[in-house]
Amino acid sequence: MKAVFLEAPGSIGIRDMAEPIYEAGMALIKVRAAGICGSDIAAYRGTNPLVTYPRIIGHEIAGEIIRIGDNPKGLKEGGRVILDPYLYCGKCYPCSLGRTNCCETLRVIGVHVDGGMRGYMLYPQNMLIPVPDGIEWEHIPLAEPLTIALHAIHRTRLKAGEHVVINGAGAIGVLTAMCAKAYGAIPIITDLVEERLEFAKENGIPFAINPLANDPMKIISDITNGRMAEVVVEASGAGGAIRAALDMVSYAGRIALTGWPREETSLPTGMITKKEIDIYGSRTSAGEFEEALMLLSSGKVDAPAILSKVISMDGIPAIVAEQSAHPERYLKVNALI
C-alpha cells in the first residue's frame, strides 16, 4: 500500500509499505478519505514539538471496515467509519472524569504515532464512530475539525440568542461560527485577512470584523447594546487576539481558548476578576463525533463549504508543501485515498 510519509521536517513523499495484518480487538480499515489539517502542515514544517519522525501524517480519517470481530458497537464489515484520533490511557485523573481529550498521556495519530494517510490502517474498535448515510466520502473527515468547534461551544455552554466573538476565520473559526449559528447564537468573527472575512460573510456569518481596519470593541459594543459578547472563542493562537478577548467578553462572560499560541501572552488578570470571566481551555474533543456527523448529514452545518479543493492521495505531498509556503491560499483541502 501507499502512505504519505514525513522522513523529517521538510521532507515529504509517498512510500510503499506493507499492509497491516488484522488483530483481534482491532479493526482493519481501508482508508477512503483524509483531511489536511494545520497540524499536518506544522508536522511538515517541524514546528510542532510533539511530532516525532519519521511519521505517517493525517488524523482526519474516514474509511471502510474490511475486517472486524464481535464488538459492543455492532460495527460490521463494509460499514463506513470515522476514526476518533485521540488515543487516551483510560487510567489518569482526566480520563477518570471522562475528559479523555486532556489525558495526561494523550497520543494523537499523525503526531505522536502514525496517522491515517495510507491505504489501510489497523485501529482500535472502540475508537471508531459509524458514519450515517448521505455524507460523501470526501466530506466525512470534516467531522473531526467540527468536533473541535463543538468542544469550544460545549465548554462555554453557548446558548441560543447569545453573541459569540470568534477570533480567527480559519477552518476552525469558520466551523465554530457555523456551529454557533446552528445553536441559534449570533457569531461575530474577526480576522486580519480580508479574504477570510469575505468568505465568512458569504457563508452566512452575520458579522465579520478586521481589527486592523476598524475598532472591534466599538462594533461589538454596538451589536450587543453595550453588553459585549457573552462568549468569546479564541481560534487564532495570536497573542493580540487572546488579550483582546478580555475586552470583547461581557461581565460574567465565558472564553474558550482553542488556538495554540506560539508564545506566552501577558494578561491584566484584574480584568478577569473584575468581570468575573470564566476562561476554559478547549483541547481536541471527547464524545463529540456523533453530534458532528449529525450536523454534517442533516446539512445543519454546511461544513463542506470550507473545502477549497478535493485532491487524490498522490497530490498530498505537493499541497502540504504549498500550504506551508502560502497558508492563506486554501482554507481546507481534503483528499480521496
Ligand X SMILES: NC(=O)c1ccc[n+]([C@@H]2O[C@H](COP(=O)([O-])OP(=O)(O)OC[C@H]3O[C@@H](n4cnc5c(N)ncnc54)[C@H](O)[C@@H]3O)[C@@H](O)[C@H]2O)c1
For ligand X, the binding residues (CB under 6 A) are 38, 148, 167-173, 190-193, 196, 211, 235-238, 240-241, 258-260, 282-284, 327
192 neighbors 211 (Cβ within 8 angstroms): yes
CB of residue 21 to ligand X, shortest distance in Å: 32
54 binds, among Zn ion, ligand X, none (CB under 5 to 8 A by kind): none
Is 37 a residue that touches Zn ion (CB under 5 A)?
A: yes
- Output 172 or 185, the one with its CB closest to ligand X: 172
Q: How far apart are CA 106 and CA 286, in angstroms?
A: 12
Amino acid at position 257, single letter:
L
**In the beta sheet, which residues pair with residue 6?**
12, 55
337 neighbors 117 (Cβ within 8 angstroms): yes
Is 62 a residue that touches Zn ion (CB under 5 A)?
A: no
Q: Exposure pattern of 142-172 as b/e (b: 16+ CB <10 Å)? A: bbbbbbbbbbbbbbbebeeebbbbbbbbbbb
User: Which residues fall within 8 angstroms of residue 18, CB to CB, at 6 or more apart?
Assistant: 1
CB of residue 279 to ligand X, shortest distance in Å: 14
C-alpha cell at 158: 453557548
116 binds, among ligand X, Zn ion, none (CB under 5 to 8 A by kind): none
Compute φ and ψ for 284, nearest 5 degrees.
45, -135
Q: How far apart are CA 213 and CA 198, in angstroms?
A: 14
260 binds, among ligand X, Zn ion, none (CB under 5 to 8 A by kind): ligand X
Q: How far apart are CA 250 and CA 172, in angstroms?
A: 23
283 binds, among Zn ion, ligand X, none (CB under 5 to 8 A by kind): ligand X
173 binds, among ligand X, Zn ion, none (CB under 5 to 8 A by kind): ligand X
170 binds, among ligand X, Zn ion, none (CB under 5 to 8 A by kind): ligand X
- Output 85 or 317, the one with its CB closest to ligand X: 85
320 binds, among Zn ion, ligand X, none (CB under 5 to 8 A by kind): none
Is 313 a residue that touches Zn ion (CB under 5 A)?
A: no
Concatenate the DSSP letters of all residues of 69-84 into one string. ---TT---TT-EEEE-
- Output 110 or 173, the one with its CB closest to ligand X: 173
What are the angstrom distances between the C-alpha of 118 and each of 68, 140, 237?
19, 16, 30
Residue span binding Zn ion (CB under 5 A) among the ranges 31-39, 75-83, 221-229, 264-272 = 31-39
- Output 37 or 313, the one with its CB closest to Zn ion: 37
Residue span binding Zn ion (CB under 5 A) among the ranges 30-38, 43-51, 107-115, 242-250 = 30-38
Is 50 a residue that touches Zn ion (CB under 5 A)?
A: no
Is 4 a residue that touches Zn ion (CB under 5 A)?
A: no
Is 289 a residue that touches Zn ion (CB under 5 A)?
A: no
Please give the residues from 187 up to 216 whose contact with Zn ion meets the rule CB under 5 A.
Answer: none
Q: Residues 81-120 vs Zn ion: string with x where CB under 5 A?
A: -------xx--x--x-------x-----------------
- Output 89 or 271, the one with its CB closest to Zn ion: 89
Residue span binding Zn ion (CB under 5 A) among the ranges 80-88, 113-121, 184-192, 251-259 = 80-88
CB of residue 220 to ligand X, shortest distance in Å: 13
142 neighbors 334 (Cβ within 8 angstroms): yes
**Segments of the chain assigned E as strands:** 2-8, 11-16, 26-36, 55-56, 60-68, 80-83, 86-87, 107-108, 120-124, 128-130, 163-167, 186-190, 207-209, 229-234, 249-257, 278-281, 309-312, 333-336
Concatenate the DSSP letters of all residues of 273-302 into one string. HHHT-EEEE--S-SS-HHHHHHHHHHTSS-
CB of residue 174 to ligand X, shortest distance in Å: 8
Q: Using CB under 5 A as the criterion, which residues of the chain lie in contact with Zn ion when the complex forms?
A: 37, 88-89, 92, 95, 103
